[in-house]
Amino acid sequence: MQYQNAVSVKPEYKAIMMQTASISGYSTIIIKKKFPNHHIHIIPDPLNIDKGLMEIRLKELTVTFVVNQQDICSTGYLFLNKMSELKKYLTVCKKYFESLTPNSWRYKNCCIELLKEGTDYYFLFYAYSEL
């Protein structure tokens, strides 16, 4: 999917994207501090017994982080509750992050990708290292 039209976004869209992109490599304790006043669940990863999932539910979306045995978050996923919000989050990516490809960006040490599964889109966040 190539993004064409920019739309105006509220500051909280930018804040959520930047907070999520800044998580990689932090412990669950620090992440809980970055998302105060939000209900956070930590559950076992059904696909890998050596990892867990930290789920943060917000009004319009769910952020899920993969947590390793050392209690460090390595990968994050941002799932939108309403696909109608996608353009607003894409606008944040286009405006505030360095473009790597039409559907991926870099913010500090994090790579952000827009992925599609079925009819749904979601963002993947992972540590970026220059080769």
111-127 average pLDDT score: 93
In angstroms, the Cα distances linking 109 to 60, 112, 129 are 26, 10, 7
Q: Is residue 70 part of a domain?
A: yes
Residue 2 belongs to some domain of the structure: no
Q: Evaluate whether residue 6 is within a structural domain.
A: no
Does any domain span residue 47? yes
Token couple for 124: 């993947």
pLDDT at 4: 47
Nearest of 35, 40, 16 to residue 88 by alpha carbon: 16
Please report whether residue 108 resides in a domain. Answer: yes
What confidence score (pLDDT) does residue 38 get? 82
Q: Are 16 and 57 in contact (CB under 8 A)?
A: no
Which has more pLDDT, 82 or 6? 82
44-82 per-position pLDDT tens digit: 877 787 788 889 988 889 999 988 888 888 889 999 988
Distances (CA, A) of 28 to 23, 86, 89, 97, 107: 9, 27, 24, 25, 21
Structure confidence at residue 3 as a pLDDT band (50, 70, 90): very low
The answer to the question of residue 111 being in a domain is: yes
* Mean pLDDT calculated for residue range 100-129: 92
Please report which confidence band the pLDDT of residue 24 belongs to, taking 50, 70 and 90 as the band edges.
confident
**Is 5 domain-assigned?**
no
- Mean pLDDT over 16-23 rounds to 88
114 lies in a domain? Answer: yes
**How many domains, the chain?**
1
Domain boundaries, position 67:
11-127
The pTM (predicted TM-score) of the whole model is 0.84
